[in-house]
């Protein structure tokens, strides 16, 4: 299916319905493997929609997680990773002894997630697992795999469901690909 926004045709890769179904399964998996008493740390900005939905799916799975946020940047406004990770906003709480599930939108090179995980482990978290909506396995650069993966993503730049290209398209309720021959309105 294709929709038009901002004068661009966007091909739907993962629909809102597919994502909602997968979120319930992920929450079930997390409940089984991690149990209660967990601290969810959402890596902003890209994961904010996924984190909000997954959090409510965790509630449906019977858990009562706490939530904190970390804002990390590795991309700037472009599509090519700078290879550097910067902390733009840190978690507020003490993570010592906590069972943490990091939530991110996409695992690509792995630098963002590896950086966040190392930081939380260094601060004394007892367990740091990770849950990503999308795994792009082709470009791994850091030695990390996510513990929970929503979908394997084809090697394309995707937008929507919180993810952007140059700050656009975060509001789309699905994950899609902007078609390159789209015309400006």
Q: Can you give the binding site for Mg ion, defined by CB under 5 A?
A: 46
CA–CA separation, 69 and 98 (whole Å): 15
Minimal distance, residue 40 CB to ligand IMP, in Å = 16
157 token code pair: 């730049």
Minimal distance, residue 73 CB to Mg ion, in Å = 8
The backbone region for 76, taken as left when phi is positive above 0, alpha when psi lies in -120 to 50, beta otherwise, is: left
Residue 81 in contact with ligand IMP, rule: CB under 6 A: yes
Minimal distance, residue 174 CB to ligand IMP, in Å = 13
DSSP 144-157: ---SEEEEEPPSS-
- CA–CA distances in Å: residue 148 to residues 123, 145, 152, 179: 23, 9, 11, 29
Residue 74 in contact with ligand IMP, rule: CB under 6 A: yes
Picked from ligand IMP, Mg ion, none, the partner binding residue 108 (CB below 5 to 8 A depending on kind) is: ligand IMP
Q: Which of residues 113-152 bind ligand IMP (CB under 6 A)?
A: none
Interface residues with ligand IMP (CB under 6 A)? 46, 74-75, 81, 104-112, 157-158, 163
């Amino acid at each position: 299916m294709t929709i038009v926004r901002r004068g661009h045709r966007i091909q739907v890769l993962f629909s809102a319905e597919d994502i909602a179904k997968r979120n319930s399964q992920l929450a079930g998996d997390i409940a089984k493997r991690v149990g209660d008493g967990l601290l969810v740390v959402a890596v902003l900005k890209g994961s904010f929609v996924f984190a909000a939905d997954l959090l409510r799916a965790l509630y449906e799975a019977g858990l009562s997680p706490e939530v904190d946020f970390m804002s990390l940047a590795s991309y700037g406004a472009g599509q090519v990773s700078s290879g550097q990770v910067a902390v733009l906003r840190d978690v507020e709480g003490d993570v010592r002894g906590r069972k943490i599930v990091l939530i991110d939108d996409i695992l690509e090179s792995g630098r963002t997630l590896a950086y966040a995980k190392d930081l939380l482990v260094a601060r004394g978290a007892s367990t740091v697992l990770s849950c990503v909506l999308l795994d792009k396995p082709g470009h791994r650069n850091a030695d990390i795999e996510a513990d929970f993966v929503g979908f394997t993503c084809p090697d394309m730049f995707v937008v929507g469901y919180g993810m952007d290209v140059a700050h656009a398209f975060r509001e789309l309720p699905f994950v899609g690909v902007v078609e390159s021959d789209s015309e400006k309105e």
